[in-house]
Amino acid sequence: MKKIGVGLIGTGYMGKCHALAWNAVKPVFGNVPDIALVHLGEANEALAHARATEFGFAKASGDWRKVIEDPDVDVVSVTTPNSFHAEMAIAALRAGKHLWCEKPMAPGIADAEAMLEAARQSGRTAILGYNYIQNPAIRHIGRLLSENALGRINHLRVEMDEDFMADPDAPFSYKHEARSGYGALDDFGVHPLSLVTTLLSTVASVMCDMAKPQEWRKTAEGSEREVETYDIANVLIRLETGASGTLQFNRAAWGRKGRIALQIFGSHGSILFDQERFNEFQLYLTSDRGTEQGFRTILTAPEHEPYGRFIPAPGHGLGFNDLKIIECRELIRRMSGDDDAHVIDFEKGYRIERTVHAMARSFHERRWVDVA
């Protein structure tokens, strides 16, 4: 591919992240095709034209379908709310476009399955926005695990916490509606599952409990509306490898801003990682001498690929948007036919979706559930 024409649907938080990534991927990595920001779609013409000017897109439309219909668009970024993913993704794939869709696939498993089938039939690349797996620290943790540095993995714990739902006086929003999903379970849970899937193994069985810290919230009109989603979820898991684990998610955890705390325990050592300090991780190895045995803090550096593409000195640190740039590079690799690209495609993503729905079923049926 000598040139890639990009379409973008949705220009909120994640839409801007995608735009920044598309603008930066060639300056950072160099060995990618030329990038043309062709067509941007938003909810109305005025907003579309304003964002197109800001982000650098040549054309703008208040109808997302025009982005997909544009013959100059090769790949579409879908960054809209979850409930819109299925219709837009399927339309893009049927139009012969490659696809970069934000996670999760869709609130309903039937829609996720339809997205997967559309991807299979299209023969195009379709990946999901799981950028945390692109962190050079996480990638190196994966390398250590593949080298068996920790021995046999017997247990893991992952916590994901933020506080954007913590204020009891905050108004009812679309994330409180059942049509947006289960709540923390799929809004948050899919990210830890992407780490577990990438670093260790798929999940075989689950036991889940969920909770609502706020049963009711005020609407913009001043009335009250029942909250339909769960901001807290606790899950016991068993991996296909036999290792046990726990997952804990909380969207109402005051003081937590972007925490994904990962702990992996093996027969010969342990690894600790926290997303709020995502330029470092801690490593404990039993092979160290007893006189110096203990957790060591490892700062990411050019030796932790692809950190060096951004900064030539260790310890200076990357940011969230840099992970999106790395993910964009991996998407381009997959579009170019590289099956080793480090991405969560729709096949892997659908397994994550099935795991989330198994968790929800476990909660409602009050029992362990196998991930079918």
Question: Two tokens at 202?
Answer: 């798929």
CATH superfamily label, 133-370: Dihydrodipicolinate Reductase; domain 2 (3.30.360.10)
What is the predicted pLDDT for the residue at 279?
97
How far is the C-alpha of 227 from the C-alpha of 219, rounded, in Å? 11
> Tokens 């689950």 belong to which residue?
206
How far is the C-alpha of 93 from the C-alpha of 123, rounded, in Å? 9
What's the rounded mean pLDDT across residues 263-284? 97
What is the predicted pLDDT for the residue at 220?
87
Angle (nearest 5°) at CA 250 between 246 and 251: 155
Amino acid at 165: M
What's the rounded mean pLDDT across residues 9-28? 98
* pLDDT tens per residue across span 198-257: 999 999 999 999 999 999 999 988 899 999 999 999 999 999 999 999 999 999 999 999
Question: Two tokens at 327?
Answer: 């993910």
What proportion of the chain, given as a percentage, has pLDDT over 90? 97
Q: Verify cis geometry, omega within 30 degrees of 0, for the bond prior to 168.
A: no
What is the predicted pLDDT for the residue at 240?
97
What is the predicted pLDDT for the residue at 277?
95
What is the predicted pLDDT for the residue at 5?
98
The DSSP code sequence of 110-168 is: HHHHHHHHHHHHH-S-EEE--GGGG-HHHHHHHHHHHTTTT-SEEEEEEEEE--TT--T
Confidence of residue 358 (pLDDT cuts 50, 70, 90): very high
What's the rounded mean pLDDT across residues 266-272? 98
**What is the average pLDDT score of the chain?**
96
Amino acid at 372: A
Closest by Cα among 94, 92, 95, 96 to 79: 92
Closest by Cα among 324, 275, 252, 251 to 13: 324
What is the predicted pLDDT for the residue at 139?
98
* pLDDT tens per residue across span 113-164: 999 999 999 999 999 999 999 999 999 999 999 999 999 999 999 999 999 9
How far is the C-alpha of 238 from the C-alpha of 67, rounded, in Å? 43
Domain boundaries, the chain: 3-124, 133-370
What's the rounded mean pLDDT across residues 81-99? 97
Q: List CB contacts of 7: < 8 A, sequence separation 6 or more.
A: 38, 39, 40, 41, 67, 68, 70, 73, 75, 76, 77, 97
pLDDT of 324 above 80 = yes
SS3 364: helix
Q: Do domains 3-124 and 133-370 have the same CATH topology?
A: no
How far is the C-alpha of 100 from the C-alpha of 95, rounded, in Å? 14
The DSSP code sequence of 6-68 is: EEEE--SHHHHHHHHHHHHHHHHH-SS-EEEEEEEE-SSHHHHHHHHHHHT-SEEESSHHHHH
What is the predicted pLDDT for the residue at 224?
95
Q: List CB contacts of 364: < 8 A, sequence separation 6 or more.
A: none
We find that the CATH architecture of domain 3-124 is: 3-Layer(aba) Sandwich (3.40)
What is the predicted pLDDT for the residue at 28?
98
pLDDT of 1 above 80 = no
Please indicate, yes or no, whether the overall pTM of this predicted structure exceeds 0.75.
Answer: yes
* pLDDT tens per residue across span 24-68: 999 999 999 999 999 999 999 999 999 999 999 999 999 999 999
Confidence of residue 372 (pLDDT cuts 50, 70, 90): confident
DSSP-derived pairing of the beta strands 369-370 and 203-211: antiparallel
How far is the C-alpha of 187 from the C-alpha of 174, rounded, in Å? 12
